[in-house]
Amino acid sequence: MCRLRSRSRPGAILTGVKSVRAHVHSGQIVLDEPVDLPEGAAVEVLFPEHDNDDELTAEERLELEAAVEEGSADFERGDFEDARAFALRLVARS
């Protein structure tokens, strides 16, 4: 289950969150892929505050995006460990 904390509702955790790529065209956010949402559905858009201050090179950015995609695929296959269980296992080692 994907969980994301909501800034608009402190303490709330959003589940079933999906991210999609988009671009800005004439000042409007345009999705790069079709999304089936009901009319009037509320969405939260997150974006970097200082996009021009990106410290990654183009090659580093591609490597990062590939790693994120790989992690997403692992998650979809169920190939992940619960964070709490992982932390408890680490504590037990010490």
pLDDT of residue 43: 86
pLDDT tens string 44-71? 888 777 656 567 888 998 999 999 999 9
pLDDT of residue 8: 60
User: Is-above-0.75 flag for pTM?
Assistant: no
CB 31 within 8 A of CB 22: yes
pLDDT of residue 2: 46
Distance CA(74)–CA(61), nearest Å, equals 20
Q: Which of 14, 19, 28 is nearest to 71 (CA)?
A: 19
Distance CA(60)–CA(4), nearest Å, equals 25
pLDDT tens string 8-37? 666 566 667 778 889 899 999 999 999 888
Question: Is the pLDDT assigned to residue 3 strictly greater than 60?
Answer: no
CB 5 within 8 A of CB 13: yes
Q: Residues 74-79: what's their mean pLDDT?
A: 91
Question: How do the residues of the chain divide into helix, strand and coil, expressed in percent and rounded to 5?
Answer: 35, 15, 50
pLDDT of residue 58: 86
